[in-house]
Amino acid sequence: MDPEQRVGTTSMSSDTPETGTETTAMLAAVGITVTPEGKERARRRLRAARERWTPELDAAVREQLGLHHQTAA
């Protein structure tokens, strides 16, 4: 799927994950409660993961997936 066609999704490059009412309602429909504390905890974990992500790690993952000659979007 073309990344521009995905709605309500995030990536490692996104600074703020989608935490809107649609997502909260979708999770509530399957019994998952979203709290402000949970959102903040998720933001901290995403921020820490972004800080660990290096160009070398990106290159290694792309190599492993067979994406040698493509550049990150």
Using CA atoms in the order 72, 65, 67, 7, what is the torsion angle rounded to 10 degrees?
-40
* Sign of the Cα pseudo-torsion (12, 18, 22, 24, in order): positive
Task: Note the pLDDT tens digit of each residue in 1-32.
Answer: 444 444 444 445 555 555 678 988 999 999 99
Give me the pLDDT at residue 68, please. 73
Task: Note the pLDDT tens digit of each residue in 35-71.
Answer: 999 999 999 999 999 999 999 999 999 999 998 765 5
Cα 15 to Cα 17: distance, rounded to the nearest angstrom: 7
Give me the pLDDT at residue 8, please. 46
Q: Rounded to two decimals, what is the model's pTM?
A: 0.52
Give me the pLDDT at residue 3, please. 43
Where do the structural domains in the chain lie, given as residue ranges?
Answer: 29-65
